Structure 1
């Protein structure tokens, strides 16, 4: 994008630093800073905009800190010097209380300055300063952006770029999923191979028995005390299974429990309903449900004495012998 400069814009505090060729608090020959900077892809537009947004925020904080002295430190004296300036601020009743307020205000302002200095010299900004110094040296000390002002709000621009990047990732993921679905539905016998590979993993507490109907099976979760019936649905002119449906099999004379219904609701609201491998991995995540704590609150039961029946797929899956294994986080309904 043509609106992104090749280096950070000078700020009210950075122009004089650029003239001197060195950033205060950052060593010129800092090996750690150079190493960190070299590991960053400075050709990335998002990286450049993110760095500019951080520097822009630093300048905003500088303008706020400039009010610390003398206005900020002397704030408790405002009601005394001008009673109309701050009608909601009461005047200290005694000199000792006024002194105490002045001390407290001074400490708070000093703490703000120290926090700012900590961020300025911190590891998050170090690679940026190193990159700025390198660009200044390359330009023989000339300003990277001669106008000396910010040309746009880089925080807003960063949000727009991240949103576009996320949209692009979702599109790529959707295309990948479509390709997987076509491949999975291209062979009616593929589902049996998927079941065999799953059974070879010998997951404790799970037993699978193929049903008498085509594309059907029963799955027993011994530790959870549940039996699930899985059946594949077909659509006209589409080979293989278009969707796998799950229901709980309760013993005669007993209705499904609240726990079973909660698990069924989660299983049947899953994504990738055409993906049997995904479904089997998701079902296996319930094998130890009575001893698996919630990922978020780390407790087994919540305040309503409910187990974590919600399953959320983890962003990174495991691959074993060219077979992808899906992993899930366990969550209470009120933690999801």
Structure 2
């Protein structure tokens, strides 16, 4: 095909100059430090590496965007100029279709540049640009990386640092949990203190009574129409209860419902099985199960008409004195 779109049509040429202007505009950099720059801990190694990774990604995007003009926007013309073009790059069937392809390609490239500019000047990068400018000023205008070459892949380094940080946090959490477990299992009467504190909170729709057996209690969920039995398992190596198990109390001749079984499964596969306070908070999260929507899909029932019976503990704040409570998100099994 040798026909070219006529000059009266809104061809790609009317869009290309805009793309060129926007691409060249990014080279000047944003105006940093406008007084609203958020405070950042620049002594943190993770923060520094994360910032470098963002700058490195910006440079990678710049190299891609440099191909937008003119090669990128003229991509539909490749089959015409290249006789060895791939079959996937078929020549447009008519001048009007070719014109539309040119316009659409130019619009896509322009959108990519606008997205890049939005990131470049966005609030997430403002403190980074402010930091860069401050460091350049401190060095009397000397470039911070005179070679112009990245010495390492900072995104990979960031992932390694985050993995190490997560491992450190998990180890610290395990140590903290070991201390809590030792305290909870230090005496046989400790569990009764936990129950008394829970009862004093007077949670609506939840009633707790001590059972007839040692280390046992019943928890009634009035709105849910359920009574749960909680029993402590003893271990010869500890003074207190080593683990708490839950079962459903049902009227004679009736088996637990599907809802009750789902709740039991979740309760008995929980973490911190030694922690009665954790268990009581988890049980109380089912008090309004018939009106509590799923935290993920925000619906009360899923496509299978099932209520959100899964409970996932929310990130908790450091304990205040002796009163530590746990909050849980409700989830459907297919949303967990």
For the criterion TM > 0.5, the same-fold answer is: yes
Q: Deviations over 1:234-281 (max 9, x none)?
A: 111311110011111111001111001000000000000000000000
Aligned mates of 1:28, 1:330 — CA distance in 2? 43
What does residue 101 of structure 1 align with?
A: 101
Aligned mates of 2:90, 2:237 — CA distance in 1? 80
Give the 3 Å change call, closer, same or farther, for CA 103–233 of structure 1 in structure 2: same
Matched, 1:27 2:58: no
- Structure 1: unaligned runs, 5 residues or longer: 1-22
Aligned mates of 1:215, 1:325 — CA distance in 2? 21
What does residue 149 of structure 1 align with?
A: 149
Aligned mates of 2:318, 2:136 — CA distance in 1? 45
Matched, 1:119 2:123: no
Q: Is the 8 A contact 1:317 1:327 kept in 2?
A: no
* 1:1-336 alignment runs, 5 A limit: 24-27=28-31, 30-33=34-37, 36=38, 39-317=39-317, 322-336=322-336
Aligned mates of 1:57, 1:70 — CA distance in 2? 23
Aligned mates of 1:31, 1:322 — CA distance in 2? 42
Give the 3 Å change call, closer, same or farther, for CA 178–318 of structure 1 in structure 2: closer
Give the 3 Å change call, closer, same or farther, for CA 200–267 of structure 1 in structure 2: same
What does residue 9 of structure 1 align with?
A: none
Q: CA deviation at 1:144?
A: 1.1
Aligned mates of 1:265, 1:28 — CA distance in 2? 54
Structure 1 residue ranges, 4+ long, deviating more than 6 angstroms after superposition? none
Q: Is the 8 A contact 2:30 2:120 kept in 1?
A: no
Q: Deviations over 1:193-217 (max 9, x none)?
A: 1111111111111111101211111
Aligned mates of 2:320, 2:47 — CA distance in 1? 33
What does residue 20 of structure 1 align with?
A: none
Aligned mates of 2:136, 2:54 — CA distance in 1? 19
What does residue 11 of structure 2 align with?
A: none
Aligned mates of 1:331, 1:219 — CA distance in 2? 22
Q: Is the 8 A contact 2:33 2:127 kept in 1?
A: no
Report SS of the residue matched to 2:236: coil
Q: CA deviation at 1:84?
A: 1.3
Report SS of the residue matched to 2:218: strand
Q: Deviations over 1:66-115 (max 9, x none)?
A: 11111101101100011312321111122122111111111111111111
- Structure 2: unaligned runs, 5 residues or longer: 1-26
Q: CA deviation at 1:27?
A: 2.9
What does residue 10 of structure 1 align with?
A: none
Report SS of the residue matched to 1:220: strand
Report SS of the residue matched to 1:316: coil
Q: Deviations over 1:219-239 (max 9, x none)?
A: 111111111111111111311
Aligned mates of 2:249, 2:40 — CA distance in 1? 54
Aligned mates of 1:45, 1:201 — CA distance in 2? 43
Aligned mates of 1:40, 1:54 — CA distance in 2? 15
Aligned mates of 1:142, 1:113 — CA distance in 2? 29
Could you say what the CA RMSD is over the residues aligned between the two structures, in angstroms?
1.6
Q: Is the 8 A contact 2:32 2:129 kept in 1?
A: no
Q: Is the 8 A contact 1:317 1:325 kept in 2?
A: no
